Structure 1
Amino acid sequence: MSKDQSENRSDQAQGQSLGRVFTSVLASLFGVQSSRNRERDFAQGRPWIYVVVGAVVAAAFVLMVWFVVRMVIKSAGI
């Protein structure tokens, strides 16, 4: 691997902060992702980062719904 390629990869990794990935995943989850951001994600992003963050966000959403349902059932006395 040449020095230019390794510098390019490190630039891409730095441009792809966890906050930016998280924001992009949330925006796509709610269906409000802009075309510009989507194109940036596909151009700069590594797919596995988005898959991992997406899985974590989806799991957190499922756990939140489960918790709310348990609380409602408990407060209703069922």
Structure 2
Amino acid sequence: MAESSGTENKDQQKPKSPGVLKVMQSILAGAFGVQSDKRRQEDFSGHSPWPYIIAGVLFTASFVLGLIVIVNLVLASQ
């Protein structure tokens, strides 16, 4: 029984990394300004910020490239 409680303590000390879906939800909510303070605190408590930083940079780059493509398509059709 002592072994299982030791394993549980190790699991509690090491926070589980956020899943891809959770990171995407947080990035999209933050980008559109609807991220709740509770969710923001949950995202950054005990987790590494790197998944959020990488996803944020990728989202921003794809958003800007998407805008460039849309503007070029609109200007080309005139």
Alignment of 1:29-68 (within 5 A): 29-68=31-70
Structure 2: stretches of 5+ with no match in the other structure: 1-6
Normalization by structure 2: what TM-score?
A: 0.80
Q: What is the CA–CA distance in structure 2 between the aligned matches of 1:21 and 1:44, rounded to whole Å? A: 14
Q: Which has the larger Rg?
A: 2
Q: Which of structure 1's runs of 4+ aligned residues deviate more than 2 A?
A: none
**1:72 maps to which residue?**
74
Shift of 1:65: 0.1
Shift of 1:41: 0.6
The 1:37/1:21 distance shift into structure 2, 3 A limit, reads same
Between structures 1 and 2, the one with greater helix share: 1
Normalization by structure 1: what TM-score?
A: 0.80
Q: What is the CA–CA distance in structure 2 between the aligned matches of 1:52 and 1:68, rounded to whole Å? A: 24
Percent identity between the two aligned chains: 33
Structure 1: stretches of 5+ with no match in the other structure: none
RMSD of the alignment, in Å?
A: 1.8
Shift of 1:28: 0.6
Q: What is the CA–CA distance in structure 2 between the aligned matches of 1:59 and 1:46, rounded to whole Å? A: 22
How big is each residue's C-alpha offset from its partner over 1:51-71, in whole Å with a ceiling of 9 and x where there is no partner? 000000001100110000110
